[in-house]
Amino acid sequence: MSEKSGLYLVKLKVSRPGLLGSPVLHLNLTVFAPQGSVNGDAIISQSVTPVGGPIHVPQVTGHIHHTGFGPDQQLVSLSGQYVVSVPPPAIGSYLAQFSAAFVVGPNWVGKGTFTYGGHTIPDATVEPAEH
């Protein structure tokens, strides 16, 4: 994939290969290259379904910054919130935080970390998702 300009769609899979049962982050992002802005949504899933099923982060926003030295590397930072329902016997729900940070090349392959609900998944592989 070559460096793109304008507005384009990126679908990514972020996971820890070889770590069975670890969460997998699926991102559907729209990138507006002239401003370096990113918008989209995320789903966090696991092979062992977490309580309440997959986590959907309906609004993810962020920025892309190019390092400007050596081979082109992009620093991607994302954040968002999702609703967590409190299990019975309690009643209610609250907003939990989601964040992610990646270093990727122009082909969107690289490494990163993502955090959700008190869990941090470090040293994850970032790669384009199969469409």
Report yes or no on 1 lying in a domain: no
Report yes or no on 57 lying in a domain: yes
Tens of pLDDT, residues 93-107: 999 999 999 999 999
- In angstroms, how far is CA 114 from the centroid of its own chain? 7
- Residue closest to 107 by CA, chosen among 72, 131, 69: 72
What is the amino acid identity at position 68?
Answer: G
Over residues 77-92, mean pLDDT: 91
Q: Which pLDDT score, from 0 to 100, does residue 9 have?
A: 96
Report yes or no on 77 lying in a domain: yes
Q: Which pLDDT score, from 0 to 100, does residue 116 have?
A: 95
- Contact between 80 and 57 under an 8 Å Cβ cutoff? The reply is yes
Six-digit token pair at 82? 């999702």
Structural domain count of the chain = 1
Residue 49 pLDDT class (50, 70, 90 cuts): low
Report yes or no on 65 lying in a domain: yes
Alpha-carbon distance values, 110 to 44, 113, 121 (Å): 19, 11, 15
Residue 72 pLDDT class (50, 70, 90 cuts): confident
Residue 1 pLDDT class (50, 70, 90 cuts): very low
- Residue closest to 124 by CA, chosen among 112, 108, 109: 112
Report yes or no on 111 lying in a domain: yes
88 Cβ partners below 8 Å, 6+ apart? none
Report yes or no on 2 lying in a domain: no
Domain of 122 in residue numbering reads as: 7-128
Q: Which three-class secondary structure state does DSSP give residue 13?
A: strand
- The pTM of this model reads 0.89
